[in-house]
Amino acid sequence: MASSTPPYELVYYTGVPGRGEHIRLLFAEANVIYSDTGSLGMAGARQAVVEHLKGHQNNPPYYAPPMLKHGDLLISQTSNILMYLGQKFGLAGSAANSDEYRVNALALTALDGLSNEVHDNHHPLVSDLPYEDQKDESIRRNKEWLKLRFPKHLAYWQLVLEQSKGQWLMGDTFTYADIVLFQCIDGVKFAYPNVMAHAEKSGKYTAVFQLWDCVRLRPNIAAYLASDKRQKYDWGIYRNYPESDVVPTQAA
């Protein structure tokens, strides 16, 4: 069966982990061979992205990467690609129980709250303008976000893990939602080291930080993270602006 399936091709930029990182981590965990336009270098990857966004054959044009090509199928949207691959590789829970929809809900919620919102913290106006053009707005948004949103997000994930009947978000079953939450927490740790150290010390979110630790120590994930395929955080979603990494007065 494995030999008859067409190759998996990830179409994404290189130079930052970005949204594509969730997919690279899923491939790593599943130990699946795939091609990656990231290996073409910055310019080559960008060109491949532009080309694939046009759509082809039975595929519509898409708005933004990451994209996945698998035979005739070309799809975009991070959560969508994860759902497709998660089911192929047994990382979406029990199909008989329709777990893939529970897992997709969890993944979407992690991406909304701890990836998209965090991106918008440094780009509260439009992503098309540089940070420097919206720094005042960013500083104000950051302050409110850390006070009002950040504790809600961490408390939510703590609750999911406390209600879970096992060590993962979906009980004893490891799913790609655990990978997504790991990557989100990892990025937030990079962007807000002071705030996250404070949150960890508070003891309110022990299950969340433990999940981060358990995912990164899984053998396939650990090997990937130690490899040169793992991109460094830089200009992407997760940015460390010291002016924003300030523990709020009413701390989380």
Q: Which residues bind a copy of itself (CB under 8 A)?
A: 55, 58-64, 72-73, 75-77, 79-80, 83-84, 97-98, 101-102, 104-106, 108-109, 112-113, 116, 120, 124-126, 128-129, 137, 140-141, 144-145, 148-149, 156, 159-160, 163-164, 169-170
Contacts of 238 (CB under 8 A, 6+ apart): 17, 118, 187, 188, 190, 191
Comparing CB distances to a copy of itself, the nearer of 109 and 183 is: 109
Q: Residue 150 CB, nearest distance to a copy of itself (Å)?
A: 10
- Strand-pair partners of 75: 68
Q: Residue 42 CB, nearest distance to a copy of itself (Å)?
A: 23
- Strand-pair partners of 171: 168
Gap between the Cα atoms of 146 and 252, Å rounded: 8
Q: Residue 62 CB, nearest distance to a copy of itself (Å)?
A: 6
Comparing CB distances to a copy of itself, the nearer of 127 and 206 is: 127
Gap between the Cα atoms of 97 and 118, Å rounded: 33
How is the chain split among helix, strand and coil, in percent rounded to 5? 60, 10, 35
Q: Residue 217 CB, nearest distance to a copy of itself (Å)?
A: 23
Comparing CB distances to a copy of itself, the nearer of 125 and 197 is: 125
**Token reading at 99:** 């777990």
